[in-house]
Structure 1
Amino acid sequence: MKTKWLEVELPIILVELYELLKSSPYSDVMPKGFDIFEFSKEKIDGKYIEKNVQVELVVTPFGDKNEIEITTRL
C-alpha cells in the first residue's frame, strides 16, 4: 500500500476546501474524484481516487482472441 501525506497552507479556510473537495466526489460515473472520510475543525481526512481502465487482447493457444478489461483505482 502506498500512502501520500499532504500538508498545505491555503488562502481559504478549511470549510471552503472541504466544500470544494465534496463537490467532486468519486463515483463510477465520475472516473476521478475525492472520497472524504472525516472532516473536523483541524483536518480533512480522505483520498483522491482515479479510475484507470485498460483493455488487453489475449490470444489463446488455439488462436481465439479475447479482450480482458482491467480496472484499477489509484
Structure 2
Amino acid sequence: MTAQKQADVATKRVALTPGTWAALSNIKEPGKTLGQTVADLIAEHQRRKLELDLDEIDATGTFTSWEEAKKELNL
C-alpha cells in the first residue's frame, strides 16, 4: 500500500444514528466516499462561517489601514 493510500485509510470511526446515516447517504454523490462527503460538508461549513464572520465585521467593525496596523504591531 502506498503512503497516499495509507493516509486515505480511515483512522477513526464515528457512530451515527440511522437517521443521520440515511441523511448523509442521501447527500453523498456517486463515486464519493462518505468520508469525502463529510470533508466536503466541513469545508462548506467553514466557508459559510467565514462569510458570516466577514459580514459581521463589515457591518460592525472599525478598520485600521494596513500601514497603521503594521506600526501598532511593530512589523
- RCO higher in 1 or 2 (8 Å CA, sep ≥ 6)? 1
Larger radius of gyration: 2
Q: Which has more helix, going by share of residues?
A: 2
Q: Which has more strand, going by share of residues?
A: 1
Do both proteins adopt the same fold according to a TM-score greater than 0.5, normalized to the shorter chain? no
| Band the TM-score falls in, shorter-chain normalisation | under 0.3
TM-score if structure 2 supplies the norm length?
0.27
